[in-house]
Structure 1
């Protein structure tokens, strides 16, 4: 084997090892959102802090869902007053819905008319949506702004409802 071929072989081996390490690290650092067992309980915790319950309707393998979850929603969880959960399209995992009954994630999302992943919902008192849904991936330049706008609307609705009590 020539010196050049030996160098190229070693270089490829080193690069392959580095890529394997990087992908393993990336998988270990993948952000996730909690999957609730009870939406009324999750909502009660959110409302206690004066915030809406934010629900991500996600689909396994969806690259846009991954971006929404990892780049926009998971970072919001740094603030412990933000309550963000995930329900999964096509999942048969069960959750107690706002009606007090047990549903699969897929059944519940279909009953809410969700057909696009990702969809982000902003839920307030009595399990009612209190801001416009954030449907689809949008352009990355604007997704954060759209999310912030809807969160502000939802918080204002909750604040107004609290003042009316």
Structure 2
């Protein structure tokens, strides 16, 4: 029979494991769930939807999330993450249920991290950012892609 203190200890352990996992993976961006809804939120702000393609354990992905994408997301830019090799369900831009990995394959992305910028109708509105850039240039290239994406509306 479970006692209250056993349940509290188990809940505390689960919370600590979840926090440790998030810190280890740098999981600071929301996972894509419904691209049509996420795109609609971005377009309401006159912004392209930024989708980060990530790979578990990728140090360059973690660096991009922590240094550039998470601060933008906290400032109001709609950014979601899709994960290579993940079977997590997601609705694509056509409203069809698929997985993160299938979505990435359909986009023909083979490098992590890759940033994609989507506008009206789920079309790409700026050049992709593939791979790791020099830290001094990542921010300016990202700003340029966002500006290009905004001009497409």
TM over 0.5: yes
RMSD (Å) for aligned C-alpha atoms:
1.5
1:59-78, aligned counterparts within 5 Å? 59-78=55-74
> Partner of 1:77: helix, strand, or coil?
helix
Which one is further off, 126-135 or 149-158?
A: 149-158
Deviation track 1:45-90 (CA, whole Å, cap 9, x = no partner) reads: 110111110000000000000011110100102322x100000000
> Partner of 1:51: helix, strand, or coil?
coil
1:140 corresponds in structure 2 to 135
1:8-157, aligned counterparts within 5 Å? 27=23, 30=26, 32-80=28-76, 82-157=77-152
Q: Which contiguous aligned blocks of 4+ residues in structure 1 show a shift greater than 3 angstroms?
A: none
Is there any run of 5+ residues in structure 1 with no aligned partner, and where?
1-23, 159-165
1:31 touches 1:74 (CA, 8 Å); kept in 2? no
Deviation track 1:113-149 (CA, whole Å, cap 9, x = no partner) reads: 0000000000000000000000001111111111011
Alignment coverage as a number of residue pairs: 132
Question: Displacement, 1:156?
Answer: 1.1
Bigger Rg over Cα: 1
TM-score by length of structure 2 reads 0.82
1:56 touches 1:85 (CA, 8 Å); kept in 2? yes
Is there any run of 5+ residues in structure 2 with no aligned partner, and where?
1-19
